[in-house]
Structure 1
Amino acid sequence: MSNVNLVTGDSDYLKVTSDRTTKQELDKDAFMNLLVTQMKYQDPLNPMDNQQMMAQLAQFSALEQMTNVAQTVEKQFANGMIGKHVSYQYTDSDTGQTQYLIGKVDYVKINSGETLIGIGDKEIKVKDVKQVLDPAVIQANTSAFELIEKTIQGLTKEKNSQGAEEEVIVEGEVLGVKMKDEQPYLIIGTGEGLIEIDFNNVQNIVDKPTITGRIVTATIKDESGEEQTIQGLAEYIKIKKEGTYVYVDGQFIAFEDIHTIANK
């Protein structure tokens, strides 16, 4: 089954590239290695106290039992999700981008003592599952999920410089869907510029976007008044009463400041 993008609060479409994972917890293997190393390098004239060693072995035994219980519970939980739809967090190893997706759990396997869940062509850890979804909710909002990767125009509201709410037209590619009280919201943009559009407020599907998804170059003035060249991907367009703005490289640029538009 193909996976469907769901979003990201948090967070999360920020691009973070890292090939290293840091082990935060002291597992039973590390505990045993630590104990063996401690015995190996102990002072032969002043060896480890027998009671102290027995206490550490007791701690190791308790840790191993708790780990085994946790693994059993985790496996049972994972097996119970087979055939169900879940929302889960997935980090692309190539791009470093973290996404929230929806998919059907196809299988469960144990790899080096770790329980992994198979969803389509992805394998994830149990801890990355965020929610088991109601099939009725998935089917009722299929049309919203079908808009992912398409460019749409939709309406949202935001406060203007006077603090009053006004209607804003947003045009951009749908990156995901977020459910709120069983109502789908389309996710457009990333990082701090992320916008959620109520599915009911979608006005149009844009077949041939002129700017969205293309590389633009603009010249703007920074806080000191000096000209600065900005180049980046046009994630979406925001049309307000005072003008049209394009979200590029984490900031909004006035449409009139753009001087070149190129394909990716």
Structure 2
Amino acid sequence: MSYVDSLLSATSGSSASSTTSSSTSGLGMDAFLQLLVTQLQYQDPLDPMDDKEFVAELAQFSSLEQLTEINSGIEGLSTLTQEQQMIGAVNFIGKTIEANGTAVNVEDGAATSVTFTLPEDAATCLVNVLDSSGNIVRTVDLGATTAGQVEFEWDGKDYDGNAVDDGQYQVAVTATNADGEVMTVTSTMTGTVEGIQQVSGSYYLDIGGGRYVAFTDITNVVNETTTTEENS
């Protein structure tokens, strides 16, 4: 393997493992071409480079250039995707949305509601409210519950009837059907988007009370204007 071959192997491996590195952090095409010219200038006249080896190194340069262009394209696509997410997130500010989630926020003793969906009639239905440490602070027995969407409104009190501290809590629903089988229950929460936050390149919507939802978790955008008109 020639000196240029070894450089190409090392640099190609580095390019494949990291598509976000700056082009100035490694040798570019111009530098590699300069290395090739230098190699030709200082080759042994009694043992010149074989034509096939020379063509092979040129092909390696071409492959490296294509790989660099692909990496640049991926970086550009990633940037464009983040910009589109940012624009989409901003458009949600001020709108009321429904999203998958189990978070409940308590403020001044009042708790936000959570809506869960039962795939079939439930013979038993228990709703556990957990604090930030995962401790159950309250269990509400809803008894037999009809299939469909069920809105759960917690009174913000613990087992002893005392108001809990303000903050975020989680609800966990356990429901069984007539045969005693545990059902899969999905839960959604509602809130008005107050802002956005970026985490690891992705944007999340702030719906108040420390509750954040991803775009993929949004299930519905509530049209308050339409709802008001229908009710009137």
Radius of gyration: which is bigger? 2
TM-score by length of 2: 0.29
Greater length-normalized contact order (CA 8 Å, ≥ 6 residues apart): 2
More helix by share: 2
